[in-house]
Amino acid sequence: MVKSNPNRRWYLLLVLPYLALLVPSYYARATPMLFGIPFFYWYQFMWVAITAVLSAIVYFKIRAR
């Protein structure tokens, strides 16, 4: 019998960016603009920053145990 590792739950956070960018038709539009940048670009770039933060959280939570 394989024991469940509670650390594996933290990896589920890494699925969020995947799900958020999975359907481009959701964010493939120009409005709303942010500082003149179309939604299509700033939405994806926002997820780059969020993914970095989520990766750091997962790394430190897994490493701490």
Which parts of 3-60 are beta strand (E)?
none
pLDDT per residue as tens, the chain (65 positions): 556 677 788 999 999 999 999 999 999 999 999 999 999 999 999 999 999 999 999 999 988 66
Handedness of CA 10, 47, 29, 31 (dihedral sign): positive
| Whether the model pTM is above 0.85 | no
